[in-house]
Amino acid sequence: MAIYPQLIIDALKNVRYPGTGQDIVSAGMVADDIRIDGNKVSFTIITEKAHDPFIKSLVKMAEQAILTYADKDIDIVGNISVKSKQAPRPELPDLLPGVKNIIAVSSGKGGVGKSTVCTNLAVALAQKGYKVGLLDADIFGPSVPKMLGVEESAPALAKKDGRDLIVPIENYGIKMLSIGFFVKKDDAVVWRGAMASNALKQLIGDADWGELDYFLIDFPPGTSDIHLTLVQTVPITGAVIVSTPQEVALADARKGISMFTSDKVNVPILGLVENMSWFTPAELPENKYYLFGKDGCKRLAEEQGYDLLGQIPIVQSIREGGDDGKPVALNQDSITGMAFSQLADNLVEAIDKRNRDLPKTSVVEMKAK
């Protein structure tokens, strides 16, 4: 059977792009470079973006369509190349060239106030004049948009250096992105690990973060493949572990510390933050009630040889600020505002010490055995 370009084109009309349902010929995804050398056929598929999630399956469908609708003896497998209209995402170490320090804010378990601490810490840093970015990577429970009062916002796209980049939402001097912007507010995020990991990679590598002194990442609670994805995607300067003073939370905090400091991950611990250290009623500001035990996180820090970066009390205004989208760190004269301001100062000092004493950070490389 004679093989000619139109035969290949007609076969490819049976391949539909999963993202739109349109056939790849009508969609302009087949380049005008079909080459035929005896039974060998090669050509190029053109995608909009360099990291198209459907490209592997699309190439396989194209190969199968040619073997089915053109000729089963055509040599096509492995001969389809791919190029994108957009410039490719920068590779490491140039993924975030304008970011000086990347900080993981993590907790061994949920419910200890990690996202509240992370959000207020970002605000406190911004109020000191630093350029701050915040990525809400708590992908199955994104709460940072509400805490920053931007829950109804929608990130835009902007063309830069040949790429369509997500423009982070800005409020209170913080650039912020969250998966919460891309799903319905009341819908559960039910994604497999690979899908969640790819979404986070896009929020990091396909966003215009610009110049930042500190890029805080609100990690999911616990230890999971999301954590591994993040440490393999960006060079983490160091981790901040958030816990409450109670022993149940501290047991899980130890596991979080163990993950970051393991030989495979090896991310420095910058220090611990004890949240909900004591309850102080608004009408009795001098009183302290230790609802979850006293100084548990302080003892853990001493035991492990790390700094206690701060102790944050339980105060009604913290909850109100989170619900209203007005973080308490905005009020630097309040008890909680001063606590977060001191936490920010201690973190900056810990980062400076880490950068003086330890080698420049790099991404984690994990090789399969």
Asked whether residue 215 falls in the same domain as residue 162, the answer is yes
209 has pLDDT over 70? yes
Query: What percent of the chain has pLDDT above 70?
Result: 94
Query: What three-state secondary structure class fits 46?
Result: strand
Residue 222 CB: number of other CB atoms within 10 A? 16
pLDDT tens string 152-183: 888 998 888 778 889 999 999 999 999 888 87
Tell me the C-alpha to C-alpha distance, in Å, between residue 213 and each of 49, 75, 90, 121, 351. 29, 53, 20, 14, 11
51 has pLDDT over 90? no
Asked whether residue 58 falls in the same domain as residue 128, the answer is no
Report the pLDDT value the prediction gives residue 305, as an integer from 0 to 100.
Answer: 94
149 has pLDDT over 70? yes
Asked whether residue 343 falls in the same domain as residue 225, the answer is yes
At 232, is the pLDDT very low, low, confident or very high (cuts 50, 70, 90)?
confident
Asked whether residue 31 falls in the same domain as residue 124, the answer is no
pLDDT tens string 255-288: 999 999 988 888 999 999 999 999 988 778 788 9
pLDDT tens string 82-92: 988 876 666 65
The answer to whether residue 368 is domain-embedded is no
Asked whether residue 56 falls in the same domain as residue 156, the answer is no
- Rounded to an integer, the average pLDDT of 10-29 is 91
Asked whether residue 153 falls in the same domain as residue 43, the answer is no
- Residue 24: which domain range? 5-84
190 has pLDDT over 70? no
What are the two backbone dihedrals, phi and then psi, of residue 137, each rounded to the nearest 5 degrees?
-95, 5
Q: What's the CATH code of the domain at 329?
A: 3.40.50.300
Number of domains comprising the chain: 2
Report the pLDDT value the prediction gives residue 266, as an integer from 0 to 100.
Answer: 87
Asked whether residue 40 falls in the same domain as residue 104, the answer is no
Q: Are 240 and 105 in contact (CB under 8 A)?
A: yes
The answer to whether residue 94 is domain-embedded is no
User: Which of the two residues, 206 and 130, has the higher pLDDT score?
Assistant: 130
215 has pLDDT over 90? yes
Report the pLDDT value the prediction gives residue 265, as an integer from 0 to 100.
Answer: 87
Asked whether residue 131 falls in the same domain as residue 276, the answer is yes
Report the pLDDT value the prediction gives residue 213, as an integer from 0 to 100.
Answer: 97
At 369, is the pLDDT very low, low, confident or very high (cuts 50, 70, 90)?
very low
Q: Quote the mean pLDDT of the chain.
A: 89
pLDDT tens string 107-147: 988 889 999 999 999 999 999 999 999 999 987 778 899 99
Asked whether residue 56 falls in the same domain as residue 116, the answer is no
Asked whether residue 154 falls in the same domain as residue 286, the answer is yes
Running DSSP on this structure, what letter comes out for residue 290?
-
The answer to whether residue 363 is domain-embedded is no
